[in-house]
Amino acid sequence: MEQFFTTLGIWLGALFTFAIFSFLYKDNPFYKTAEQIFVGLSAGYWFVYTIFFILIPNLYNPLTQDFSANWIKLIPAILGLMMLMRLIPKTEWVSRFPISVIIGTTSGVFFLRYLKSDVLNQLTATMINPFIGDSWVTVIGRLMLIVGTICGVIYFYFSKKHTGALGVSAKIGIYFLMVSFGAAFGYTAMARISLLIGRLQFLLGDWLGIIHP
């Protein structure tokens, strides 16, 4: 019986793979059906996992097993229920209270973390001695790192018109950003091709048995 279900599973996988690939020819009902099954299953998965892995262990169990030590969790529970009031247009405003807790917490944490990791630490990482590299290539690279970062940041400074020295710096900044986007494209191409490789490894391996990855 298990063998039957294993085979059925592989065939189902192949069937849905082709249903999605059929979009490459043109949009069609097979693709649309597969797409909607994807949306439905995805939502269902999130729903079940949220209840099984968040609401039961972090809310229901503490409240039912030791209420006196965990009664404070009633507050987020109530706030959570208030969040669901958003589904009814007349009571939508009630959800502003839990949203304000969420937004307030996020803002507070983001303020601190981004300041340290993405601003201060990045500035520190740019303040390097470019001339201590082990070869002239590294020295050039480190110089590029310093100049590129500074000019790139200048490019994002929109409070003053980009003319004169500021304009030249911003222009250099754009050049660095373009190289960066080009490299990002190269990596994106690699990523997308990898996904296709994964699909073909399934079709040629698990389904047809031609290859053994």
Partner 1 sequence: MKRKLPLLITFTVGIILIISEFIPHKPFGQLSGELEIWFLIISGFAILLGQLSLFKVNIIKIKFKQRDWQFYVVTLLSFIFMVTLGFLWGTGNSAGILGHGESISGAMGYKPFDFLFHNVYQHLQATMFSLLAFFIASAAYRAFIGRTVESNLLLAAAVLVMLGNTTFGVLLTGWLPDSLKFLHLPNVSEFIMTFPTTAGQRAIMIGAGLGIIGSSLRIILGIERSYLGGE
Partner 2 sequence: MGKTKQIDRRWLFLLIFIGVALPLIFTIGLPLETSENVQMVYDLVESMPKGSKALISFDYDPASMPELHPMAKALLKHCFDKEIDLIFTAMWPMGVQMAEDIMAQLQDDYPDLVYGEDYVNLGFKAGGMITIQSMGKNLRKIFPEDMNGNNIDELPIMEGINNFNNISFVFSLSAGAPGIKEWVQIAHDAYGRPTSGGVTGVSAPAMLPYINEQQQLTGLLAGLKAAAEYETLLQAPGTATSGMDSQSIAHLIIIIFIIIGNINYWRNKRAEKKGGK
CA separation for the pair 154, 165 (Å, rounded): 10
* 95 and 81 Cβ atoms separated by less than 8 Å: no
Selected binder of partner 1 within 26, 124, 159, 182 (CB under 8 A): 182
Residue holding tokens 């529970």?
Answer: 77
Q: In the window 38-97, what residues touch partner 1 (CB under 8 A)?
A: 38-52, 54-55, 58-59, 72-73, 75-77, 79-81, 83-84, 86-87, 92-93, 96-97
Q: In the window 116-145, what residues touch partner 1 (CB under 8 A)?
A: 117-119, 122-123, 125-126, 135, 137, 140-142, 144-145
Compute the least distance from the CB of residue 83 to partner 2, in Å. 13
The Cα-based distances of 97 to 27, 72, 93 in angstroms read 43, 17, 8
Among partner 1, partner 2, none, partner that 128 touches (CB below 5 to 8 angstroms by kind): partner 2
Residue holding tokens 């839990």?
Answer: 98
Compute the least distance from the CB of residue 154 to partner 1, in Å. 8
Selected binder of partner 1 within 71, 167, 186, 208 (CB under 8 A): 186
Q: Give the number of residues in contact with partner 1, rule: CB under 8 A.
A: 122
Compute the least distance from the CB of residue 199 to partner 2, in Å. 8
Compute the least distance from the CB of residue 1 to partner 1, in Å. 4
CA separation for the pair 172, 154 (Å, rounded): 9
Q: Is 168 in the site for partner 1 (CB under 8 A)?
A: no
Binding residues for partner 2, rule: CB under 8 A, are: 24-25, 45-46, 49-50, 53-54, 57-58, 61-62, 105-106, 109-110, 113-114, 116-118, 121-122, 124-125, 128, 180, 183-184, 187-201, 204, 210-211, 213
* 129 and 143 Cβ atoms separated by less than 8 Å: no
Give the angle 61-64-59 at the CA atoms, nearest 5°.
40
CA separation for the pair 144, 175 (Å, rounded): 11
* 80 and 98 Cβ atoms separated by less than 8 Å: yes
Q: Is 20 in the site for partner 1 (CB under 8 A)?
A: yes
Closest CA to 19 of 11, 10, 28: 28
